[in-house]
Structure 1
Amino acid sequence: MRWFLKLAVSGAVMAGLLWWVDPMVVIHQLRDADLTWLCAAFVSLTALTALMARRWQIVAQALGIRLSFAHAWSEYYVAQLANMALPGGVIGDVGRAFRIRRQGDLMRAAQSVATERLIGQISIFALMAVGFAAALMIPGGVNWPVWTWLGIALFCAALGSAVILARGASASARFVRLALELIRAPRLIGYSLVIAALLVFSFYACARATQTIIPLQDLATLVPLILCSMLIPLSIGGWGWREGAAAALFPMIGASPGAGVAAGIAYGAVMLLAALPAVLIAMKSTQTHPLPHTSKMDVL
């Protein structure tokens, strides 16, 4: 029932957007999309899966879970496709935690998945915070409305609350301490910076493919805001909310709402295509892979 509810919400939001904007503009921009830029987005998203899997492997190893890169990569593919197709956006992550429990235990497996996801969210929010800080100091960019600055203030308040919470002795405090400790590791900082940059580039490439050029000075603010809208749980794979955020924000860079909808649809389609190798992985094996020996892939 929840799946149908969220599917209905995504469908209703998309229908409302197409009613609000000129649907012919959206169709025209998608029909004439530049395949070169779409391919660039596909390659970027494919690289992202490998890098996020590697980040998860590092986190899992820090928790004492022996996980090869090849195993982590295949599990990440399956989890991504499940998150896109099923409600909540976390069912795939629950599944990969359950499937690797034999390499450690279910608690540590769940902590590895949750910590890696949290590090990813902190990274993209941190990039957005840096972008808005730069927007305050460097003139000539988008004139952001008051609500965006309130959002940044709330993020800073939430981060401060997390630091205070980490001083406690509860299970939540220990989890937050673990995440804050791991995110300071040089390797994870490097991976997270590259992942955040590739996320932004992937959407930028889809916008370019649909004839919209996002100014470079606005990439670290506009794109993270659009991508963060996909975290709204009442949808399937972020459909509807992502396009709505793009439609609302694109006029701030001189583009039409229809261009934002087209860019969002292109991004969602390329994301789905980039996750399709998960189908082959699921067909090859319906149970947890045995732990493979360490290979050259483990030294990415």
Structure 2
Amino acid sequence: MKRFFNILVSLGILGLLIWWADGAAVLAHLQKASVGWLLLAVLSLTALTFLMAKRWQIIASALEIEISFSRAVAEYYIAQMVNLVLPGGVAGDIARAVRVRHEGDLTRAAQSVAADRIIGQSVMIAALGVGIAVALILPGGIPWPAIAWTGIAVGCVVVATAFVLSRQNGATGRFLYLVLDQFKDLRLMLLALIITVLLIFSLYASARATGTVIPPAGWFTLIPLILSAMLIPFSVGGWGWREGAAAALFPLIGASASAGIAMGIAYGAMLMIAAMPGLYFAMRATASPSAETRNQMDT
């Protein structure tokens, strides 16, 4: 029932947005989409999968879970495909943790996946915070409201709270300490930064494909906000919320709401195309006669 509800939410929001912003205008943007820029978006998203798999492999290794890079890539592709077609956006990650529990135990496997997600989102949010702060301090650019400082303050409080909790001896404290300790790994941080830049570029390329040029002032402000909207759990693959955020934010850069919706639809379609190898890896794993593979794919 919950899955059906999330699907209805995504379709309902997307349908209302297209109706509100003029469906003909949205369709016009999509019909004129640049194949070259769409291809760049797919290539960027494909590179992201390999880099995120490497990030997870490094984090898992810190937890004494040894996963080969090829295995990490396959698992990441499968998880991405599941997250894009099932409501909530976390089912694939849960299954990813269960499948690699044989390399350690379920607790450490789950922690590796959770830490991977937290570190990725933390770097994106940090980039957003810096981008918003610079935009508020420097004149010109996107006219962000002063209340944006509140969001930055909340982010600082969250980080401080996490640091304090990491000093506790409970399970939560030990996990947070593990996550915060990963930020000392310069190799991991460089990887996370490259991933953030490529995420931003993939959405920028989708905007260019549908006829909108997002100015530099929006690269680390507007784009991360749109990407963050995809984290809202009441959806499937971020559909609806992503387009809604784009429709609300695009007027800040002088673009129409319909252009924002078209960009969101193009980005969602490129996400699906880039995640298609997940079907191959899933079918190959389930078709393998080896006992090891069957254990890995028992979910």
Q: Supply the distance in 2 between the matched residues of 1:26 and 1:152 (Cα, whole angstroms).
A: 33
State the match for 1:210 in structure 2.
210
State the match for 1:78 in structure 2.
78
Q: Supply the distance in 2 between the matched residues of 1:74 and 1:285 (Cα, whole angstroms).
A: 9
Query: Would you say 1:106 and 2:106 are equivalent positions?
Result: yes
- TM-superposed deviation, 1:283: 1.0
State the match for 2:41 in structure 1.
41
State the match for 1:151 in structure 2.
151
Contact 1:65 1:103 in 2 (8 A): yes
Taking a change above 3 Å as real, the CA distance of residues 9 and 290 of structure 1, as seen in their structure-2 partners, is closer
Contact 2:14 2:240 in 1 (8 A): yes
- TM-superposed deviation, 1:147: 4.5
Q: Supply the distance in 2 between the matched residues of 1:84 and 1:153 (Cα, whole angstroms).
A: 32
- TM-superposed deviation, 1:146: 4.1
- TM-superposed deviation, 1:210: 0.3
- Give the 5 Å matches for 1:1-300: 1-286=1-286, 289=293
Q: Structure 2: which 5+ residue stretches go unaligned?
A: none
Per-residue CA deviations over 1:9-59 (Å, capped at 9, x if unaligned) read 001101110111011111011011000000000000000000000000000
- TM-superposed deviation, 1:140: 1.4
Per-residue CA deviations over 1:224-245 (Å, capped at 9, x if unaligned) read 0000001110101110000000
Contact 2:246 2:257 in 1 (8 A): yes
* Aligned-CA RMSD value: 1.4
Per-residue CA deviations over 1:156-215 (Å, capped at 9, x if unaligned) read 211111111111111111111100101220111110000000000000000000000000
Contact 2:80 2:275 in 1 (8 A): yes
Contact 1:71 1:289 in 2 (8 A): no
- TM-superposed deviation, 1:153: 2.1
Letter in 2 for 1:234: F
Say which is worse superposed, 208-217 or 137-146, in terms of deviation. 137-146
Contact 1:60 1:112 in 2 (8 A): yes
Moved over 6 A (4+): none
Q: Structure 1: which 5+ residue stretches go unaligned?
A: 292-300
Per-residue CA deviations over 1:98-128 (Å, capped at 9, x if unaligned) read 0111111111111100001100010100010
- TM-superposed deviation, 1:264: 0.5
Letter in 1 for 2:204: Y
Contact 2:285 2:294 in 1 (8 A): no
Taking a change above 3 Å as real, the CA distance of residues 95 and 69 of structure 1, as seen in their structure-2 partners, is same
State percent identity of aligned pairs: 52
Secondary structure of the residue aligned to 1:285 is helix
Q: Supply the distance in 2 between the matched residues of 1:8 and 1:158 (Cα, whole angstroms).
A: 32
**Count of residue pairs the alignment pairs up:** 291
Letter in 1 for 2:222: L
Contact 2:243 2:260 in 1 (8 A): yes
